[in-house]
């Protein structure tokens, strides 16, 4: 399983999470083995939201081959597009560190995002 975590920096598991996926500077891609152990970490620079808009960011993330995206915030249109594309949207608003939230995800402490929690802007 591979998930994308919006990140403010390119420091992998030591990065701080970005508050909103579309404006994240980077995505930290975390790959888990069948036992949910972290087996790989890669950092990729996000496309420019101001140039590409949310649609470009969504296309970019979908092109990374992820099974899910773990975010603190997301609007309903991106949530719907990801869901329709088979990418599960997970949400956690409590843990600012990428590595710690990746560990929380591995042990089942992060749930799929409730569509009612989507940003309305």
Q: Which domain holds residue 82?
A: 2-110
pLDDT tens per residue, range 105-120: 999 999 998 776 666 5
Average pLDDT over residues 17-27: 88
Number of domains in the chain: 1
pLDDT reported for residue 9 = 95
Task: With respect to residue 59, please indicate whether it lies within any of the assigned structural domains.
Answer: yes
Structure tokens at 93: 């608003």
Residue 75 pLDDT = 82
Residues 6+ apart with CB under 8 A from 81: 55, 58
Cβ(17)–Cβ(7) under 8 Å? Answer: yes
Per the domain annotation, does 101 fall within a domain? Answer: yes
Question: Quick check: 55 pLDDT over 80?
Answer: no
Taking only the tens place, the pLDDT of each residue in 62-121 is 999 999 999 988 888 889 999 999 999 999 999 999 999 999 999 999 999 877 666 655
- The CATH code of the domain that includes 62 is 3.30.420.130
Residues 6+ apart with CB under 8 A from 92: 70, 72, 101, 104, 105, 109, 110
Residue 118 lies in a domain: no
Whole-model pTM: value is: 0.91
Tell me if 120 is assigned to some domain: no
């Amino acid at each position: 399983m591979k998930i994308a975590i919006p990140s403010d920096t390119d420091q992998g598991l030591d990065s701080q999470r970005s508050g909103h996926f579309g404006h994240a500077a980077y995505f930290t891609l975390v790959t888990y083995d069948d036992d949910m152990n972290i087996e790989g970490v890669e950092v990729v620079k996000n496309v420019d939201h101001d140039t590409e808009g949310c649609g470009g960011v969504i296309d970019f993330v979908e092109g990374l081959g992820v099974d899910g995206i773990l975010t603190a915030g997301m609007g309903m249109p991106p949530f719907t597009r990801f869901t329709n594309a088979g990418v599960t949207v997970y949400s956690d608003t409590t843990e600012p560190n990428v590595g710690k939230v990746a560990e929380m995800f591995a042990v089942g402490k992060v749930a799929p995002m409730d569509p009612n929690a989507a940003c309305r802007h």
